[in-house]
A and B are shown apart, each in its own frame.
Chain A
Amino acid sequence: MSEWNQDTDAMLSVEGLQVNYGDFIAVKDASLSVPYCEIVSVVGTNGAGKSTLFDCVAGVVKPRAGRVFFKGEDITALPAHEVVAKGLTLVPQGSRCFIRMTVEENLIMGSYTKKARKDRAATLKKTYELFPVLFEKRNDLSGSLSGGQRQMVAIGRALMNRPEMILFDEISLGLAPTVIKDIYARIKEINRDGVTAVLIEQDVKRSLRTSSRCNVMLKGKVVLTGSSRELTEEKIKAAYFGV
């Protein structure tokens, strides 16, 4: 870990990852590199393997082949609960709040790791400042919230872990445009506080606007990667559909 240099080395580096579900190959030889403190996006059609890639990085599913390095350390074999303790947190698709627990209990679960527990009060205050609506609803069951608010709970819960990197898996899915805009503004704010962000997004325009680097996945592979300034929407769309 001591060899990792945040200015020259990638914070997250995925090399030749393959993930199978039974006979189905969801991710095939995927590689990805995320520099420190940037926002990196991953786009691609449904079934391109984006979520599986994230789940595998977070330790939720095990890869068949390949390596995942976080801050220079090999975390490929680590189970999910140990990955999160390293400072890498996933906001899963569909928010996956603990629906029978209150908003505040959800957030408190975010500070479950030993490292996060001692800063719980301060982080909770910060999270409520970022999402004031969560403070208003702190005693409500998260299952009673709207989709956008649940997404905020999921993001807040991830922040409670005091992560150095957050993987956002399609947080805009099924949300109204104004809510999406609001949540993306928060992500930029979180990033300004020094948290590296990787996000899966279906909307190519929004992903180019938000991220500094963009990756396109097709049939389990990362087929195009580059800085968001250089990549045009046309180039991405060509890679997106594999034409």
Chain B
Amino acid sequence: MTQAIINGILLGGLYAIVGVGMSVIFGIVRLTNLAHGEFVILATYLSLAVTRSTGMNPLLSLVIVAPIMFGVGFLIQNTMVNRLLPRGQEAPLLVMFGLSIIIQNVLLQFFSADAQHLRHGNDTASLSFGSAVVPVMFLIDCIIGVIVIIALNFFMKKTYTGNAIRAVSDDNTAARIMGVNVSLIYGAAMGIAMVTAAVAGVLVGMTYNFYPTTGSQYLIISFGVVVIGGMGSIKGTLVAGLVFGLAQLLGAYFFGTSLQLLSGYIIILIMLAVRPQGLFAK
């Protein structure tokens, strides 16, 4: 039981960082980013390429991967999504879906369908807390996930760009009147979402095996986090990650590992039925 709770909490930190980028884009650009899972895995493979060629630690590779992902996000938003937004929700949705297929196949082309892993020093290390044994990597996932989310929250509250992002999501026209270039801010928001995807991708790759098709799995986790936490709420994603992680691991503890994923989804269904706007919807 303690084991399940500790693992659930730690897993929650990872789920939160996986989902936060999707939540940000949902809340600000009002776009369902169907490619978010692929973006996470794209970052994982970028990190793989960097670590393979330089031999550096995967976490350190973020120094290179995160800026690349920011640029990719900014470009995708400014060259594709921004042009389509005035035409309603369907067109950008389809563009993101198309991008997710393209990314999957490009990864397949360059990296093959083999299982990969981001190797690091602590692959099998574990710590024991009383009777519970916790993989060190789980602990790293949770700590980094929480730190990045707190930093993101701080950025959104304390910088002009962060405030502009929130202002645009509140009232697009009023923000323009205040001097905000909305296209640039959307680009920055997507770039920032991509940086969180980069962190998530590296952590995921260090924790689990991955394939070019793994993205969809993380898209579903992201959906879960957004549904439970409420669109656009950064605090919400943190709590939602914990709820989702705990639901899975406690489900596995009580009903067996085969029902681990199902118990997570049941929580999503309950949320949709009881509080469809999410825990922290504004």
Q: Which of A81, A84, A98, A116 contacts B166 (CB under 8 A)?
A: A98
Q: Are A81 and B180 CB-contacts (below 8 A) given A92-B173, A96-B174?
A: yes
Task: Determine the distance from Cα of A76 to Cα of B170 in the docked complex, in whole angstroms.
Answer: 27
Q: Hey, which chain A residues are within 8 Å of B180, CB to CB?
A: 81, 109, 112
Task: Determine the distance from Cα of A98 to Cα of B171 in the docked complex, in whole angstroms.
Answer: 6
Q: Hey, which chain A residues are within 8 Å of B99, CB to CB?
A: none
B176 at the interface (CB under 8 A from A): yes
Q: Check if A112 sits within 8 Å of B170, measured CB to CB.
A: no
Closest to B181 in A: A81
Task: Determine the distance from Cα of A117 to Cα of B26 in the docked complex, in whole angstroms.
Answer: 29
Q: Hey, which chain B residues are within 8 Å of A79, CB to CB?
A: 176, 181
Within 8 A of B (CB), among A99-138: 99-101, 105, 108-110, 112-113, 116-117
B175 at the interface (CB under 8 A from A): yes
Q: Mark contacts of A37-55 with chain B using CB atoms, 8 A cut-off: 1 yes-contact digit, 0 otherwise.
A: 0000000000000000000
Number of interface residues of A (CB under 8 A): 27
Q: Which of B167, B173, B181, B182 contacts A109 (CB under 8 A)?
A: B167
Task: Determine the distance from Cα of A80 to Cα of B176 in the docked complex, in whole angstroms.
Answer: 6
Number of interface residues of B (CB under 8 A): 20
Q: Check if A80 sits within 8 Å of B177, measured CB to CB.
A: yes
> Majority SS of interface residues in chain B?
helix
Task: Determine the distance from Cα of A238 to Cα of B177 in the docked complex, in whole angstroms.
Answer: 34
Q: Check if B282 sits within 8 Å of A112, measured CB to CB.
A: no
Within 8 A of A (CB), among B161-175: 163-164, 166-167, 169-171, 173-175
A211 at the interface (CB under 8 A from B): no
Q: Check if A81 sits within 8 Å of B179, measured CB to CB.
A: yes
Q: Check if B174 sits within 8 Å of A112, measured CB to CB.
A: no
B155 at the interface (CB under 8 A from A): no
Task: Determine the distance from Cα of A113 to Cα of B176 in the docked complex, in whole angstroms.
Answer: 11
Q: Mark contacts of A78-100 with chain B using CB atoms, 8 A cut-off: 1 yes-contact digit, 0 otherwise.
A: 01110011000110100011111
Task: Determine the distance from Cα of A108 to Cα of B180 in the docked complex, in whole angstroms.
Answer: 13
Give chain A nearest CB distance to B238 CB in angstroms: 18
Task: Determine the distance from Cα of A117 to Cα of B160 in the docked complex, in whole angstroms.
Answer: 9
Q: Which of A85, A100, A109, A161 contacts B282 (CB under 8 A)?
A: A100
Q: Which of B164, B178, B182 contacts A84 (CB under 8 A)?
A: B178
Give chain B nearest CB distance to A198 CB in angstroms: 15
Task: Determine the distance from Cα of A116 to Cα of B160 in the docked complex, in whole angstroms.
Answer: 12
Q: Check if A92 sits within 8 Å of B177, measured CB to CB.
A: yes
Q: Which of A59, A98, A108, A117 contacts B174 (CB under 8 A)?
A: A98
Give chain A nearest CB distance to B87 CB in angstroms: 16
Give chain A nearest CB distance to B153 CB in angstroms: 14
Task: Determine the distance from Cα of A7 to Cα of B118 in the docked complex, in whole angstroms.
Answer: 71
Q: Check if A60 sits within 8 Å of B177, measured CB to CB.
A: yes
12 contacts between A and B (CB under 8 A): A79-B181, A81-B178, A81-B182, A89-B177, A96-B173, A98-B171, A98-B175, A101-B170, A108-B163, A109-B180, A112-B179, A112-B180
Task: Spell out A's residues near B (CB within 8 Å).
Answer: 58-60, 79-81, 84-85, 89-90, 92, 96-101, 105, 108-110, 112-113, 116-117, 157, 161
Task: Spell out B's residues near A (CB within 8 Å).
Answer: 157, 160, 163-164, 166-167, 169-171, 173-182, 282
- 11 additional A-B pairs beyond A60-B176, A92-B177, A98-B170, beta carbons within 8 Å, are A81-B180, A81-B182, A84-B179, A85-B179, A89-B177, A96-B174, A97-B174, A98-B167, A100-B282, A101-B167, A109-B175
